[in-house]
Structure formats: structure tokens, C-alpha cells
Amino acid sequence: MIKNNRLIRLLIAGSITLTAAGLAHATEESAQDLDQGARIKARQAEIAAEAARAKKAEKGYWVAPRAYGTTRESEPPKFTKPINQTWLKDYTDIDWLDIGADYRFRYENRENDFRRSINVRDEPFLLRSRVYLAVRNKFDPFRFTMEIEDARRNHSHFTRDNRDVDLAEPIQFYGELFFKDGLGQDDLGNDRPISIKAGRMAFEQLDRRLIARNEWRNTTNTFQGVRATFGQHKNDWELDLFALQPIVRFTEQLNQRDKGQWFYGAVFDWRKWSDVVTLSPSYFYLKQNGDEVKYNSSGTRVNNANDREIHTAGLRGYGLIGKTGLDYDISYYRQWGEDGASDHKAYSHITEFGYTADLAWKPRFSINYGVASGDKSSSTGTMERFDRLFGFARPWSSNDYIQMENVNATKIRAEFSPFTGVNIDTGYSWYKLDSATDRWGASSISRDRLGRYGRDLGEEYDIRVRFPLHKHVAANIGYAYFKGGEYVKGNIGDRKDTSNFFYVELTVSAF
């Protein structure tokens, strides 16, 4: 019996020992499982962070402005592609050549166009062809770009002008020194390149109101000189410097540089805070030697042009307000200098607020208020009319009735995309002259120096629909209605105070 009890005790002790060892082993395995789970979660977090950094680096600091009509033409233009990404890849695999070709046809129906001196229905055909060729990467740092444009107008009642006609001219023809990482990299790992260009070039800056290619117009603003760019859109900062002479366009002879004008500029983009704001301070200096000026911007011969020195300094800030769908775009410019015997003092400011709803058709609603000063009185000895430099008028008026001078404009707009690739925008605008005694610059109406008819210029309604017909064909259909205010009614005599503008545009891209 004693032996049996001893055996039982030994069995119980062994069982307890085995159980304890099993529990210890299980505890150890559990700890290992927990540690393994923690490591997996940590690695998953690292992978997510790496993906977020890669996504951020791909986009960089660039935030596109949403304000209406302010999206700049890309460099190179949108109709170009690397040749190995076109249908020509079946014939070549070279990766150092960019090519492009497009053709645009626009039919316009303008009834009582206030840019003209008579009331007539004009139905012109506007034709524009462009060819682009650029060599990059192959011989870096040396690069080369050429873009040729042919612009024509047919079936019109009016004499051809350089707004619509410029026959087979190079609008870009320059050599470039390009250093891909000339300034190293930013903190997202994106290269900071240095680009130095010399020759003929066409480009856009800021919100396009002071420097633009004028993509809507049939002909293009072009310059000749030197341009240096430090950084790129992806970087937290970018600096653009240039010293250029404008190219005077002619309808029936080769274009030539304006030897009497030099246009200098510096634009700095600070994007470090782009989640909140992109800041763009700028400075431009336009110097004109009147004795050297032979033609005005319309290509018309002139004599005794003024000596001019116009300084323009400004600041633009735009951005998105978190994830609220709200956006803003605010700019202010001050001008000073000399215009002939007069001092030059002028200003402009533009503010736009918008809201984009979180819906599939991406509706955006906006309100915009813009001012460009006018000349208050010729007796002061000071020219107060804002000089629009080399900008374009399209954001101000779909009729092309408003330039960035002597205007107060209030605009409300709606933009939306009901189907993939289909974009619709519409808006209503109220216009006043900033000064009743200064001119309505875009019109044929003479300046009312006495200000007898006030500042009420008129109202405009417009609508535009853009959609693809084919992967290489796009359509643009629009209509704009203008109703003149008291200023127009008082200055036109028996002429109607309303106008209608309808157009159909087709663009065909080769690639």
C-alpha cells in the first residue's frame, strides 16, 4: 500500500511538472505570436508610410489652381508626346524625341461685335495648324525645341489682322542647357533642374493675365531672348527669370522682334505650404525706347512712340481649404514708372472663391471680383491705366470685350462634368469702367473724356460645352450674349446695345 501511495505521488508530481512546462512553453509561444503580430503591424505601417511618401513625391508640392481660366498651357504643350508613346512606336523605339501636330478649325457667328466699328453679322472661319519637335535626353545638357504655327482667317467682312492671321511662323525656336539635378533634390527626393533657354519662345506665367500664349486667340504671343528656370513644378520652390523682346506679328511678311522693347521678369513660386497656400511674388519691367519702335502690337507702322518704363510688382496666393471643397485665388499688382511725359501709377487686384461639391459630376461654383485701374483724368499728369503687358482677355470676357485695363468685373460661374470627358461651364458677369473718363479698350467706341455716360458698361452671359468625338478629336461649342449698359447706350447712337456670339470649334491632334 505504501509502495502504491509513493507511485501515485510520483505520478502526480510528474504531471504537475509536465503541466508547468507545458504552460511555460505555451506562454512563450503566445509571447512570440504577440511579438510577431506587432512586427507585422509595424511593417504594414512602414509600407503604408512608404506608399504615402512615394505618392507625395510623385505629385510633389504642386497644387493646381482651380480658378476659372487660370490653368497654364503645359511645357511642352498638351498636343505633344514622346514619339515612343504614340502610334509611331511600331516604327521606332527612340525615347529622346517629342513630337506633336494639331489642327484647329473654328466657325464664329458674331452679330453686332462691339470690337468692330459697324453693326454687321460676321461669320469667319479661323484655321490654325501647329507642328512641334523637341530633342531631349539624347545630347544632355544640350536640348532643342521648335514649334511652327500657321494661322489664317477666311470668310470675314473685315480686313485680316494679326489677331487672327500669322502665316507659317516659328513661335518657338530655341536651344536649351538642361541640368536634370543641377540644384540637387528637394526633401521629397525630386530633382531640382536648371534650364537655360535662348531663342524664340512662347510660354505662360502666373494666372495668364500678364503673360500668356493666348490659346483661345488664333495667333500666339511670342518672345525672343533668354529665359532661366530653377526648379520645377514638383519642387517646394521654383524661380523663373527672363530678358525678352516681344515678336511683332505681320499678316503678310515675316515676323520680327520689336527692337524698341525689352521685357524683364522674375517669378518665384513658394510651395512649401502648398497644402494651405502657394505664394507667387513677381516683378516685371517693361522698357520701351520710342525712337526704336517701328510697329505697334497690331503690326501697324507708328511714328514718335513714347519712351516708357513700366514696373509691375505683385503677389498671388491660391490654394485649397483642407477637405472642405473650398478654394481661393487672390492676386494684387502695383505699377509705377513713366509713360512719355507722364508718371505711371496703376493697380489691379483679383479675388476668386470657389466650392467644389463631392459629387461624381464635380460641380464647382465660384464668384470672382476683379479690378484693373483706369485713367481718372488727363489733367493730373499721371497715367493711371493698368498696362496688361502680354496677357490675354479670355478669363474676363467670353466675347473678348474686356481687357485687363479700366474695368471692375463681377462674375459668378458654375462648372461641372456630367459624363467622362464632357465639361460644361456657364456664367454671368457685370462690368463697369473703373474710370468713366477712360476708354473701353477692347471696343471700337471712342473714349468719353467728359464721362457723360457713367461707368455702367454692361452684362454678359456665356455657356461652353467641351467634349471628345474621338481620342484624337475634341469639340468645343459656346455662346455668349452681351447687353450694354448706360455707357454703351450713350455712345453708340442708333446702333443696337446687344450682341450675340456663337462658335463651333474642332481640334484634331495627330498623336
- Give the helix/strand (H/E) hosting 219: none
Q: Tell me the C-alpha distance between 114 and 402, whole Å.
A: 11
Q: Apex CA 195: angle with CA 223 and CA 216, to 5°? A: 40
Residue 55 class from Cβ within 10 Å (0-12 exposed, 13-18 middle, 19+ buried)? exposed
Q: Which amino acid is at 110?
A: R
Instruction: Note the pLDDT of residue 170.
Output: 97
Instruction: Note the pLDDT of residue 360.
Output: 94
The dihedrals phi and psi of 470, each to the nearest 5 degrees, come to -160, 165
C-alpha cell at 445: 467706341
> Which region among 4-8, 34-38, 392-396 has the lowest average model confidence (pLDDT)?
4-8
| pLDDT cut 90: percent of the chain above it | 82
Instruction: Note the pLDDT of residue 333.
Output: 98
Q: What sign does the CA torsion over 206, 212, 215, 217 have? A: positive
Mean pLDDT of the chain: 91
| Across 420-424, average pLDDT | 96
What CATH number is given for 60-509 in this structure? 2.40.160.100
Confidence of residue 373 (pLDDT cuts 50, 70, 90): very high
Q: Are 102 and 472 a contacting pair, CB within 8 Å? A: no
Instruction: Note the pLDDT of residue 421.
Output: 93
Instruction: Note the pLDDT of residue 28.
Output: 59
Instruction: Note the pLDDT of residue 29.
Output: 57
Query: From its phi and psi, is residue 229 left (phi > 0), alpha (psi between -120 and 50) or beta?
Result: beta
Instruction: Note the pLDDT of residue 3.
Output: 46
Q: Tell me the C-alpha distance between 150 and 166, whole Å.
A: 6
Q: Tell me the C-alpha distance between 386 and 399, whole Å.
A: 21
Q: What sign does the CA torsion over 363, 418, 398, 488 have? A: negative
Residue in this structure with the C-alpha cell 495627330, named with its chain if needed: 510
Instruction: Note the pLDDT of residue 250.
Output: 95
Confidence of residue 37 (pLDDT cuts 50, 70, 90): confident
Whether residue 485 has pLDDT greater than 50: yes
Would you tell me how many other CB atoms lie within 10 Å of the CB of residue 80?
25
Q: Are 165 and 253 a contacting pair, CB within 8 Å? A: no
Instruction: Note the pLDDT of residue 35.
Output: 74
Residue in this structure with the C-alpha cell 459624363, named with its chain if needed: 419
Q: Are 306 and 288 a contacting pair, CB within 8 Å? A: yes
Q: What sign does the CA torsion over 5, 7, 8, 10 have? A: positive
Instruction: Note the pLDDT of residue 413.
Output: 98
Instruction: Note the pLDDT of residue 40.
Output: 74
Which pTM value belongs to this model?
Answer: 0.88
Whether residue 14 has pLDDT greater than 60: no
C-alpha cell at 46: 512602414
**C-alpha closest to that of 403 among 447, 430, 443:** 443
Whether residue 50 has pLDDT greater than 80: no
| pLDDT cut 70: percent of the chain above it | 90
C-alpha distance across the termini of the chain, in Å: 102
Instruction: Note the pLDDT of residue 1.
Output: 46
Instruction: Note the pLDDT of residue 38.
Output: 73
Q: Are strands 308-321 and 407-419 parallel, antiparallel or unpaired?
A: unpaired
Q: Are 278 and 271 a contacting pair, CB within 8 Å? A: yes
Whether residue 6 has pLDDT greater than 90: no
Whether residue 80 has pLDDT greater than 70: yes
Q: Tell me the C-alpha distance between 439 and 488, whole Å.
A: 12
Residue in this structure with the C-alpha cell 457713367, named with its chain if needed: 454
- The residue among 396 and 54 whose pLDDT is bigger is 396
